[in-house]
A and B are shown apart, each in its own frame.
Chain A
Amino acid sequence: KEEKQRLRKEKKQQKKNKEKNDEKTSHEEQPAGSASQPPAQPSPKAVPVPASEAPAPADKPAKSKADLKAERRARQEAERASKGKKGDVGQPAPTGKLKAPPSELQPVVKRLPEHVQVDNPEVVKKLAKKLERQQIPLRSDYGYKVSLFSHLHQYSRKAPLTQQLGIPSTVIHPAIVRLGLQYSQGIVAGSNARSVALLHAFQQVIRDYTTPPNEELSRDLVNKLKPYISFLNQCRPLSASMGNAIKYIKKEISNIPSQCKEEEAKIKLLNCIERYINEKIVLAAKAIAKYSIEKISDGDVILFPPNCSFNVTISTSISSSLVNHILCEAFEKKRKFRVIVVDSRPRLEGREALRRLVQKGISCTYVLISAVSYILPEVSKVFLGAHALLANGYVMSRVGTSQIALVAKAFNVPVLVCCETYKFCERVQTDSFVSNELDDPDDLIVTRKGKTQLEHWQKVPSLGLLNLVYDVTPPDFVDLVITDLGMIPCTSVPVVLRVKNVDQ
């Protein structure tokens, strides 16, 4: 709504300027009279205007602003004409206004506003109201938050959101409830795994969906999905890949023509989702593996911090994380290499990856991240996975990735990042503070030799534990990004995004 108001104001200003210009040019243009009609008036009789308007201001080079405005108006009239007899009289005006600025901004990647603002009480109140409307419980923050991160949420794993839901929940589909629980407890973790799980859950939702009478499937289903997304966001903040997947689904749903029967529409949507998973995740993994294998030569020693690549623990056709997959493929192609697996507390995801590699028969070494500068002189390549690639070329990945890239740079070891294109994101970020996720701080507590040092950290007022989940790696540390579109440098990410936007 705010956006609409803002755009309306813009249009009014432009109209004022345009009127000033038009007064000067009005003696030249005959059809200018109808052109200077304020676009706020819904005028279905604007049909004859467009063609005559376009060549009119072309002879005044100094009035290029007027050119643009006239062209824009021509486009608006044309669009309005095509929509013409649709029936809603009130619609063309706001859609006309809304359509103009986005078409102006078409070549530029849109800026996404930051939505998590825990330190702003108004935003928190608004969020609480929205959740109340959607009948979803609000998750409360846990523990003392480090002041640098007071704008982020910090939840405890021991208090899952589902405890506050009634059984059975009338608002939220049980598949989504299960998914939310899996996310918050860390059972399904990792960018790919979470996206695939989300899409499967949505497939289930669509299967069980029936259009209520007097409602259109395209609009009602989208509205049904909104509380689910809020719920999942409360369980665990959405990742960039999940965001892209949701955008795709919403677009597909709203593109369903209204005369389509319900059964047909559902089958169509299910197929869309299946195709998305297949293209963007499964086949992309195969393509990336193909490119990466060219980069692995005999006798290589590869460093692999699996805290950035993900295991899929639900039953799908994908059975390995991306870099794990690449290494197994390369091993099958009879390349001789050695892998060093670097792990870090508190998640220790490396052990699982280590098990898979050892099962395949690859010779592995295992160290903790603090020993990286000891082990790096023996390494010939570093493979990293990514959670998302940002529009300014920064790589967002598990915490610790940027450190490994830094030390690798100091030792002159090439760093390769493997990432599917569906993880590319329009956000920009330069440090790991403004947008991050805070995990349960109790994970840092460890018992050694029977003594737990940090057991009573909550009682000590000046002690805080920080368990970050993500960090950003600057593009100068990364030598190559391997995607399903090919091997690109880190700085080409906005190009890929632009191509994708134009396609859609």
Chain B
Amino acid sequence: MRPGLHEEWGEIDLTERIEAFLSDLKRGGSGTGPLRGSAEMARETTALLRRIAAQARWSNAGDLMEIIRTEGRRMTAAQPSETTVGNMIRRVLKIIREEYARSRGSSEETDQQESLHKLLTSGGLSEENFRQHFAALKANVIEAINELLTELEGTTDNIKMQALEHIHSNEVIMTIGRSRTVEAFLKDAARKRKFHVIVAECAPFCQGHKMATSLSEAGIETTVITDAAIFAVMSRVNKVIIGTQTVLANGGLRAVNGTHTLALAAKHHSTPLIVCAPMFKLSPQFPNEEDTFHKFVSPHEVLPFTEGEILSKVNVHCPVFDYVPPELITLFISNIGGHAPSYIYRLMSELYHPEDHEL
């Protein structure tokens, strides 16, 4: 029996919901599973965490954090490639810390950063165990999570509003695969400006096709090209705008496969590469964790079973993600504005507490 979660009518409901969420995660991450985008995933996770905060039994902040951490570990284990889940958990943990600190009366900024002065003078602060009980903490935490949910709902709109600052008329823009953020971004700009979009189809899943049909229905001149033609057409492209699955802690990307080639081609032609990524995609992971970085799916997407005997004699790889180093990226557009890749580490320290990086 886990501490704090025991059999009461409200809590059976909660356990059921958590289990349902976990099985959803296991079945597939966003894109290949029951087709949810990252935004939906983030919202569901946050809603679930709010429910846990509301219905689970906890008496002090430390208990709540422990519960959330345990559930969080289970969720990230169910689908390691879905980093949005982990990011939301870390955000909520940070919220709890902040609310606790506010209730205690100490200012929030000082216990954020580990300055040398702090290490010297107040060594005991880092041993804070969050065991004090505050009556208003529950309400505050739930209110803060509600704010987070509103923020999440507004991310796409915030990114969309910046579209006109970056796209001028008669431009040729290139993108790869399908990203709901980029789709909204381009559609918003198309209301006022006329431009041309080239979509790389991104085999083997060919999600670029869906993106192209959706964009052309909004009246944007779209062209679909194969992945092999990316370098060939790049000389005529003015900007490359892509979405990503995750933004890593060093400013690099974990994006759909083929993005690294696209980024290299853009660098060769000195074309700016703009990444539209909302803040909940920012993850404290670094790219050198080899075994967790790549995700592979069934090779029958690449070499179908109809090919017969050669299947048993050949190695076939079908990686889903690509690593794009931060040197190839020009700009990140997120719901709080535009940043250079070198600023990402700072944003991360504002969003997550360093102790939560390892759940």
Chain A residues in the interface with B (C-beta under 8 A):
146-148, 307, 344-346, 351, 354-355, 358, 364-375, 398-400, 402-403, 406-407, 410, 431-433, 444, 446, 448, 453-454, 457, 460-468, 471-472
Sorted from nearest, which 9 A-B pairs have the closest CB atoms? A400-B228, A370-B258, A453-B209, A471-B232, A373-B260, A463-B216, A344-B228, A432-B232, A403-B231
B294 within 8 A of A: yes
Q: Give the contacting residue for A373; candidates B216, B219, B322; CB below 8 A.
A: B322
Q: Residues 288-326 of chain B: 1 if any A CB is under 8 Å from the residue's CB, otherwise 0?
A: 000000100000001100010010011111110011000
Q: Are the CB atoms of B260 and A407 closer together than 8 Å?
A: yes
Q: A364-B314, A367-B316 are in contact. Are A403 and B224 (CB under 8 A)?
A: no
Q: How far is the CA of A471 from the CA of B316 in the complex (A)?
A: 26
Q: How far is the CA of A345 from the CA of B268 in the complex (A)?
A: 24
Chain B residue contacts of A400, Cβ below 8 A: 226-229
B 215-253 contacts with A by CB, 8 A:
216-217, 219-233, 235-236
Q: Are the CB atoms of A464 and B222 closer together than 8 Å?
A: yes
Chain A residue contacts of B315, Cβ below 8 A: 364-366
> Interface majority SS on B: helix, strand, loop or mixed?
mixed
Q: How far is the CA of A358 from the CA of B314 in the complex (A)?
A: 8
Q: Are the CB atoms of B318 and A371 closer together than 8 Å?
A: yes
Min CB distance, B312 to chain A, in Å?
10
Min CB distance, A390 to chain B, in Å?
15
Q: Which of B57-65, B95-103, B196-204 contacts A (4 or more CB under 8 A)?
A: B196-204
B186 within 8 A of A: no
Q: A407-B260, A454-B213 are in contact. Are A368 and B231 (CB under 8 A)?
A: no
Q: Are the CB atoms of A463 and B212 closer together than 8 Å?
A: yes
Q: Are the CB atoms of A402 and B261 closer together than 8 Å?
A: no
Q: Are the CB atoms of B213 and A460 closer together than 8 Å?
A: yes
> Interface majority SS on A: helix, strand, loop or mixed?
mixed
Q: How far is the CA of A367 from the CA of B228 in the complex (A)?
A: 13
Chain B residue contacts of A354, Cβ below 8 A: 310, 314
Min CB distance, B331 to chain A, in Å?
21
Q: How far is the CA of A346 from the CA of B318 in the complex (A)?
A: 17
Give the residue name and chain of the B residue nearest to A372 (CB): B261
Q: Are the CB atoms of B227 and A463 closer together than 8 Å?
A: no
Q: Are the CB atoms of A370 and B229 closer together than 8 Å?
A: no
Q: A351-B303, A410-B264 are in contact. Are A375 and B317 (CB under 8 A)?
A: yes
Q: Give the contacting residue for A471; candidates B213, B231, B307; CB below 8 A.
A: B231
Q: Are the CB atoms of A466 and B227 closer together than 8 Å?
A: no
Chain B residue contacts of A463, Cβ below 8 A: 212-213, 216, 222-224
Chain B residue contacts of A367, Cβ below 8 A: 302, 316-318
Q: Are the CB atoms of A365 and B212 closer together than 8 Å?
A: no
Q: Are the CB atoms of A366 and B261 closer together than 8 Å?
A: no
Q: Are the CB atoms of A448 and B205 closer together than 8 Å?
A: yes
B149 within 8 A of A: no
Min CB distance, B26 to chain A, in Å?
20
Q: Are the CB atoms of A403 and B236 closer together than 8 Å?
A: no
Q: How far is the CA of A342 from the CA of B236 in the complex (A)?
A: 26
B257 within 8 A of A: yes
Give the residue name and chain of the B residue nearest to A432 (CB): B232
Q: Give the contacting residue for B229; candidates A446, A460, A466; CB below 8 A.
A: A466
Chain A residue contacts of B264, Cβ below 8 A: 373, 406-407, 410
Q: Are the CB atoms of B319 and A399 closer together than 8 Å?
A: no
B348 within 8 A of A: no
Q: A345-B203, A463-B212, A463-B216 are in contact. Are A307 and B228 (CB under 8 A)?
A: yes
Chain B residue contacts of A366, Cβ below 8 A: 302-303, 314-317
Q: Are the CB atoms of B314 and A370 closer together than 8 Å?
A: no
Q: Using A433-B236, A453-B212, A463-B224 as known contacts, list a sample of 11 further A-B pairs with CB atoms less than 8 Å apart, ordered by residue number in A.
A: A351-B303, A399-B229, A402-B232, A403-B228, A407-B260, A407-B261, A431-B235, A462-B216, A462-B221, A463-B223, A466-B224
Chain A residue contacts of B219, Cβ below 8 A: 462
Chain A residue contacts of B78, Cβ below 8 A: none
Q: A372-B261, A462-B220 are in contact. Are A365 and B316 (CB under 8 A)?
A: yes
Q: Give the contacting residue for A374; candidates B202, B209, B222, B322; CB below 8 A.
A: B322
Q: How far is the CA of A461 from the CA of B223 in the complex (A)?
A: 11
Q: How far is the CA of A460 from the CA of B230 in the complex (A)?
A: 23
Q: Can you list 12 A-B pairs with a CB-CB distance of less than 8 A?
A: A345-B228, A365-B314, A366-B314, A369-B203, A432-B235, A453-B212, A460-B216, A460-B217, A463-B223, A466-B198, A466-B223, A468-B232
Min CB distance, B199 to chain A, in Å?
10
Q: Are the CB atoms of B317 and A371 closer together than 8 Å?
A: yes
Q: Are the CB atoms of A454 and B233 closer together than 8 Å?
A: no
Chain B residue contacts of A406, Cβ below 8 A: 231, 261, 264-265, 268
Q: Give the contacting residue for B257; candidates A147, A370, A464, A466; CB below 8 A.
A: A370
Chain A residue contacts of B163, Cβ below 8 A: none
Min CB distance, A62 to chain B, in Å?
48
Chain B residue contacts of A471, Cβ below 8 A: 229, 231-232
Q: How far is the CA of A369 from the CA of B227 in the complex (A)?
A: 7
Q: How far is the CA of A51 from the CA of B226 in the complex (A)?
A: 66
Chain A residue contacts of B212, Cβ below 8 A: 453-454, 463
Q: A366-B315, A366-B316, A453-B213 are in contact. Are A468 and B224 (CB under 8 A)?
A: no
